[in-house]
Structure 1
Amino acid sequence: MKDRVRTASAALLFLVCVVTLTSAFNLPNRSPDLSPRLASLSRAAKSAQQRTRLTLADRVAYQRVIEEVYWRHRIWPKERPDPKPALDEVMPSAQLEKKVADYLRKSQALENYWQRPITPDQLQAEMRRIASHTKQPGVLREIFAALGNDPFVIAECLARPILAERLLTELYAHDQRFHGELKRRAEAELRTHRSLKDMKQTSGMYTEAEWIKSDSAETGSASADTKNIEAVKMNGSEWQERVEKLAGEFGSAKEGDPLGQIKTGVLSPLQEDEGHYYAVAVMKKG
């Protein structure tokens, strides 16, 4: 027995398309305790805060060191007949310079646009977060060693790029100076397009998906009953989580059966996440 819900959604604002690439590392998943190393780095960082700023050339050189460690542990596909190339062949100096310039620009934007410059305490906290959440502690130790176990360099060249990206994404996503007009336009379009048929007439991207609950099947994509409709298989727990979230988007998340509380053919209020403004409707249940 399979439960199906077909949803139609209109993304009224498509801010960012994010593609995540995961590198494979030839290391065990067991995570030894890095707390002693981080404690010593944090103590040393206090005396390093007054150091002279790194030059752009320094940062590019340290970025190369970091990338060398990652590349050394990158598994080269067995089906590739050619040998694994050197890092310089896949990541030239210009690309390293671009990476450095990018995180410096984001750091400056935090100060210029939001008056939120990254502080030494934030960098130390980010170093601790990286160490406690890493799934590849061996690689992290190698990076620390490659950077001379220097807390100032580690904070500036490893922690700063990650922290700047996360803070900028969070602040930008909810800043009405950038998105206020788009939100007002999205709200106006929903007021004038209140039916399922009208959803296709909005300026947003219209998509349809069929959700399939099937505990006996693996989760992932599946063949849909209708052409151009994405089908997504879910196990019981995933199904429950998604349906409860969907009920919440309609403002009907109450005790009891969330699926039964969701009405078909009705548009949800305007929703917002870090990348979109959107509305959703359930076309069919069965």
Structure 2
Amino acid sequence: MATPIGNAADITLRALDTLRAAGAVACEDTRVTGKLMGIHGIDTPLVSYHEHNAARMRPVLIGRMKAGEAIALVTDAGTPLVSDPGYKLVRECVAEGVEVTTLPGASAPLAALVLSGLPTDRFLFAGFLPNRQTARRAAIGELKGVPATLVFFESPQRLPESLADMAELLGPREGAVARELTKLYEEVRRGPLPGLAAHYAEAGPPRGEVVVVIGPPGAEDTPGEADVDALLREALSRLSVRDAAADVAARTGQPKREVYARALELARDAGPGGASGGGEGGRR
């Protein structure tokens, strides 16, 4: 039996009982979990299970559980299986008919959502955005039209530039930046995205783990045909059809195929003397 257990800093009595009763505790870092075990006087053996050894350790852990042993899975922080390799262990447990239960602890995405003051009836947790700006902007553009509150993880070092991209592509939506949730130095900063971007551009990267929450789109966030055409004409004046379509799709959240088809129409209408970068041959 596998039992994922939540954040050690907010551990429950039930979780402590489970750790004591388990045959072994699988954890990301035995040093981190070892401190927790020592504080509570628990001497259950620790087994290392992390991103780099997960493929090798899963068959070992599955074998022990199929033999009747209970294994507890602990993460260094947050909720197991959220942005960590634990989900693959649970998936294999399910495939092998091994019973799985969970003892949730602190969840940074949910805590940030609750503290943000933004709508909670519908939300999308999108994990980490891509590191590179071009890919990151494309990902933000794809999510622009999602009718839900958006929740992201972000590294402190990339936060200022990510917020700048969000402010440019999503406009003045309300947002919140939460860091070190459920810990001693918990902090939540709320406001329109441009204001948040300006603050962190001046203050620099914060310390600790960061979650960004962005409110859902309003009617003003959905561009009309005239808006898309205007953006495309401007983009076609300096880019090829393909690059102009990609740029506008990222900025508006419109489907890439539809934007590309409209860009082709506008480039044909402009003719040879039209937009200088309108055709594929416009690339330099």
TM-score (norm 2): 0.21
Tell me: higher relative CO, structure 1 or 2? Use CA pairs within 8 A at least 6 residues apart. Answer: 1
TM-score (norm 1): 0.21
